[in-house]
Structure 1
Amino acid sequence: MSRLLAIDTIYLEPAAAEYPRGREILDRFPNARRIEVASHWNIPELHGNEGSAEDWLRIKRSTLVLGVKKGLTMRPNGRSAHFIAPSSSNGCAMACAYCYVPRRKGYANPITLFANTEAIGRAIARHAARQGPLPAPDQIDERAVVYDIGENGDLSVDALVCDSVRDLVGVFRGLPTAKASFATKFVNRDLLSYDPQGRTRLRMSLMPEGVAKVVDVRTSPMAERIAALDDFVRAGYEVHVNFSPVILYEGWEADWRTLFRQIDAAVSPATRAQLRAEIIFLTHNAALHAVNLRWHPKAETLLWRPDIQETKRSEGGMENLRYRSGWKGRWLARFKALLAEELPACGVRYAF
């Protein structure tokens, strides 16, 4: 087991233990204390407990939630993917200071794994069959209908615990008109054996190392992520990069230029030929800011910049902080120009 996880407590929806995947996960941690709960969404001592902020990292490492995914619908997206698939997990063992999931679910938010992943796979396959081939190339893909299968967690970390990710990669291997996609900040080399056959897009999240050391808590080092790009291409993945989040501070342009040069020096011609990028500028939140001040205040010196941020209501109805619209467009244009100078072969699929 990775340094990320030493599970000693499992919050358990009883129905999850009736599934083979649920039993697999429970058998993986036979000595863990089990606490039955009515719903993985409603665990007051985790999600509603402000006192857990001080135990943020311990809870991430030691606690697992096991539930059953209730809704199996596909949500239209149109940005990074055509559809958001039902998640096989929610929450994460890593602790990125800007993560949006705690804004919705609350406080430490460790990994929740869903036991009914076979049902998730079947729902995706049925939906893909109804969609058929992609009518025309678009910003998301040239040929396939793309499903984001990891919206609410990091599947590379989930794969340390069970075979859900392996199974989902296998589902897409058999879907000739569809493709899976997920972003990750963790290099799990077990995924190299999954044989995706070009039907899964792995989006490696990257940012300047100095910033990552502050805000990307418990993730793989940037050099390790960059070094893994060629390996995942050779293993049959389509590999893209997420420049996310872009955080503005004095000297950000020089730091990103350095990162682009590091990528260019590290990747093979085969990786460079298929490399595409997503660019996502930071979105922050006042409630998350308040929690971060209690466990990681240093991060907030980078994330909380009301002098250059403004409030904006999200699609989900939350009031978030984003860089001021008039300036953000200029900063985004500058970012794209830097990328074009240093990594001209890397096209931009999506920028926000």
Structure 2
Amino acid sequence: MSTSDKAKVRLHVVTGKGGTGKSTVAAALALALASTGKRVLLCEVEGRQGIAQMFDVPPLPYEERRIATGLLGANGETPGEVHALHIDAESAFLEYLAMYYKLGRAGRALDRFGVIEFATTIAPGVRDVLLTGKVFEAAKTERRKGTSSKDRLGYDAIVLDAPPTGRITQFLNVNGELAGLAKVGPVKAQADTVMTLFRSPQTAVHLVTVLEEMPVQETADGIAELRAAHLPVGGVIVNLVRPRDLSSETLASITDDTVDRSAVAARLREVGVAADDAVVDGLLAEARDHAERRALEDSQRALVAGMGTATYELPRIAGGVDLGALYELAGMLREQGLA
């Protein structure tokens, strides 16, 4: 994606195989975008209240809430804000009924009887239309320059923490999902409208992976499916990258078993470690495991590089990810040019 194409993107959809840290990356990307002065909305649709946990705020209701500000700009620019929205299908359905069928109090009665949960369960395509429709509503209003901050403004950018890679094309391709359910009517019209955004230059789908065989293969498959559905692929974010503490030459000597054991023992003694044969053997065994891991990661990195997309890398954060770590990751994404 070129620099001019990036400038057009307002909706950043973040997906990835489970366990790759896609929600963490989505949160970091929202902070990175806010660091450029943008007013950003971070949305989630999977019902886990992950945003509230990451930002250490109370569980989010079905309404937009300000949760953070971006990093101070590199040139001292005033940072923007990050707002959050937890979207659930039942609340979206009630809003939809009130908007199109004027069913306010009656809609809430249906919810009490479980009708809404039943409807969205037997017709998952409708559920996805409701979830994506809410994202579209948030995205369709441009920020109005000069408007009082007390007024409700649109957003400069929206980050959607989306379903996993295996379901992302189905989730975004709401027209295809509705083909056998609704030929006409408000639901079909809403799906058509949503697709105009999802297939436009204003949208980019970013895929999060780690340097392991299954996630990388699923990323490649996801990119192929998105392109086949004419949905715009953004970049691949390689997450949880381990530090590269050993040089290629050292790794090669470990793999070839040509390491000078006496030199290793001498170095251990220099730092006050007893260097008997058992200690040296254990250390070299750990080194071989590390060399094998690095070789696997390098092979997977080469596959990612051949996917025809921009790539970004984020390190594994020692001690886990808290709010401070999210800001650290946001800074890295900004430096690499994703925001």
Higher strand share: 1
Q: TM-score by structure 1 length? A: 0.33
Q: TM-score by structure 2 length? A: 0.34
Higher relative contact order, chain-length normalized (CA < 8 Å, sep 6+): 2
Instruction: Compare CA radii of gyration and give the structure with the larger one.
Output: 2
